[in-house]
A and B are shown apart, each in its own frame.
Chain A
Amino acid sequence: MTLIRTLTIAFATGLSLLGAPNTSLAEGPLRIEITDGVIEPLPFAIPDFQAEDGGASDYAGLIARVVAADLAGTGLFREIPADAFVSNVTSFASPVAYADWKAINAQALITGAVSTSGDTINVKFRVFDVFSDQPLGEGLQFAGTAASWRRMAHKVADIVYSRITGEGGYFDSRVVFVSESGPKNAKRKRLAIMDYDGANVQYLTDSSALVLAPRFSPTGDKVLYTSYETGFPQVYVLDVATVGRQVLSQQQGTMTFAPRFSPDGRTVVYSLSAGGNTDIYAMDINGSNPRRLTSTPSIETAPSFSPDGSQIVFESDRSGSQQLYVMPAGGGEATRISFGQGRYGTPVWSPRGDLIAFTKQNAGRFHIGVMRTDGSEERLLTASFLDEGPTWSPNGRVIMFARESQGAAGAPALYSVDISGRNLRRVVTEGAASDPAWSPLLK
């Protein structure tokens, strides 16, 4: 049963069942197929959660609001506002008045309650398939620190999303990015990390040195990036919890950049420029054992592993223009996969393994697109003056990227779009932002 497996893997800690009967969910009528052309979002109602004690009243409404924003933000769901409700939920344990929710065409109903004990808050919730007159899966409850209330809301939303779409969620995740300030010809850049929805921003470096393109480790606890700390670009690794950083590759006369982790977290693949020539290398995570994976006079950069670790997609101008290639993870013969008009760069393999996202430059415009891993079925999802640097949501259904506006006052901002090209949204950040990288789901 899919539901049980999901609970075991993603929520091995922190969750418990509330003991509702397990109904036949997967075949139930309440289902969104994400790959279908969803035109009408699924209407849902989420009354403020019940506050079961005085301390919980601060969180009961806030948590419901974050869950609602997560779901509505996907473009797959539409929230029915509370002022349309015929009746309200007065107790988490009370039977659901299905007729009242049918009357406002709420296909899904989410109810919840919050209680506190010291600095711990407990959240429990249920999902109902209103038109089937039954719960959609078991009720669940979990506990966390009060400071983590947004994470608990994201976990609720992930479970609701999973139950209705059959896909893994992506709300309980973070994004590391480059926060930018200053004019275009004197930009200051520093690394920052935030929740996927832009909340809880923390800065990981100061802006004393130019920093570029951070990338998460598979467990989300480390970040690779490029810094000009020495005056020359070099690959660094930073521990997210301690903010301690360490240079990984420092060889006189060379520049290193474009690092990414292997799926097992033990290898770093990156670009090294020496004598004007840029090739792809790999090294161990402690910076030792560097080995060269490409050996051509052309530019080879922007490597990204397949999720099984067996292959690397990268960009090269060996054909005369920037195109995408796939090679074995240990190097060797590369196969070109991009053949459309224009230039292709910054390929990133989907965490599901099925697609490669890329930046395409053609006829003076930039696009974010996806193609199958053999280069077939190319689809462009966006178009603008400058779209660049896609990163995948943990479930492989949404892509975040940077969009830079044109002209002297031009500045980048983060956007997300789903893999069907719908639901283009700005990710709100305090200032200009670029080079986003999405974490895996948090544990």
Chain B
Amino acid sequence: MRTFAIAALVVGALTLSACSKNRLDNEYGAGALGGDFVAGSPSDPKSPAYFQQTIGDRVLFAVDQSSLSAEGIELLTKQAAWLMENTAYTAVIEGHADEQGTREYNLALGARRASAVQNFLIERGVAPNRLQTVSYGKERPLEICSEESCYAKNRRAVTVLAAGGLVS
């Protein structure tokens, strides 16, 4: 009778190293949580708070769509004008989807939405190297109910300002 030992059954102990790479200040993406603190006063036209709250930092999309609405175009026109005036800022445009959809598809859909906003801002004169895009798919909803009232707010692209740091 022969017996053999089962080899390599023991999994090595976990040794997690902390992540020290550069990341967005807010790990959820600044547009994901909604009420982030932004510098300045909403009444100061030069401040990021004015951009975020007075102009509006986000546009919304129809179900499974990435085309800009008339309201979206109006808002992004103002965003573009602000960015042209305030050239010290760069922006990351975050694309988001609602929870109705599979994970990978929603990542791709969020990328389309972010890109639609980026393209519009570039068309209106914003230098391409001031704009980056990222998609969160359905990972970072703003509203958490499972109804259209929430879904409508989650299907969004948010222009998140950063100081300096050109893309390339």
Contacts and interface: CB of A to CB of B under 8 A. Distances in A.
Interface of A: 13-16, 18-19, 120, 122, 141-145, 147-148, 151-152, 183-187, 202-206, 208-210, 212-213, 228-233, 240-243, 252-253, 255, 257-258, 271, 273, 275-278, 299, 301-302, 315, 317, 322, 345-346, 359, 361, 385-386, 388-389, 404, 406-408, 410, 435
Contacts of B7: 13-14
Nearest to B5: A143
Nearest to B112: A276
A252 B103 contact: no
Nearest to A302: B104
B107 A301 contact: yes
B164 interface: no
A361 B101 CA distance: 8
Interface stretch (B27-35, B46-54, B73-81): B27-35
Nearest to B140: A185
Given A16-B1, A230-B21, A230-B22, A278 B167 contact: no
Contacts of B114: 276
Chain A to chain B: the 10 pairs with minimum beta-carbon distance, closest first: A276-B115, A148-B9, A278-B108, A345-B102, A273-B111, A14-B6, A144-B6, A184-B144, A299-B108, A408-B144
Contacts of A18: 1
A120 B5 contact: yes
28 contacts: A13-B5, A14-B5, A120-B5, A141-B1, A144-B6, A148-B9, A152-B6, A202-B11, A203-B14, A205-B16, A206-B19, A209-B19, A209-B23, A229-B23, A230-B22, A231-B22, A231-B92, A232-B134, A233-B134, A241-B11, A252-B168, A277-B115, A278-B107, A278-B108, A299-B108, A302-B105, A315-B105, A389-B103
B90 interface: no
A142 B7 CA distance: 11
Contacts, number: 186
Nearest to B134: A232
A147 to B, nearest CB: 6
B9 A147 contact: yes
Contact of A15 (B4, B24, B116): B4
Nearest to A435: B103
Contacts of B66: 276
Nearest to A202: B14
Nearest to B92: A231
A143 B103 contact: no
A258 B102 CA distance: 12
Contacts of A359: 102
Contact of B111 (A13, A206, A208, A276): A276
B167 A144 contact: no
A317 B65 CA distance: 12
B contact face: mostly helix, strand, loop, or mixed: loop
B104 A183 contact: no
A133 B159 CA distance: 75
A253 B24 CA distance: 15
Interface in B82-114: 92, 99-105, 107-109, 111-114
Contact of B108 (A144, A205, A212, A271): A271
B103 A122 contact: no
A301 B101 contact: no
B135 A408 contact: no
Given A202-B11, A208-B27, A255-B134, A233 B33 contact: no
Contacts of B9: 144-145, 147-148, 151
Contacts of A148: 6, 9-10
A410 B104 contact: no
A145 B7 CA distance: 9
B163 interface: no
B27 A209 contact: yes
A213 B103 contact: yes
A185 B142 contact: yes
Nearest to B111: A273
B145 A14 contact: no
Nearest to A434: B103
Contact of B135 (A143, A151, A208, A273): A273
Nearest to B16: A206
Contacts of B144: 183-185, 407-408, 410
A361 B115 CA distance: 26
A435 B107 CA distance: 14
Contacts of B4: 13-16, 142-143
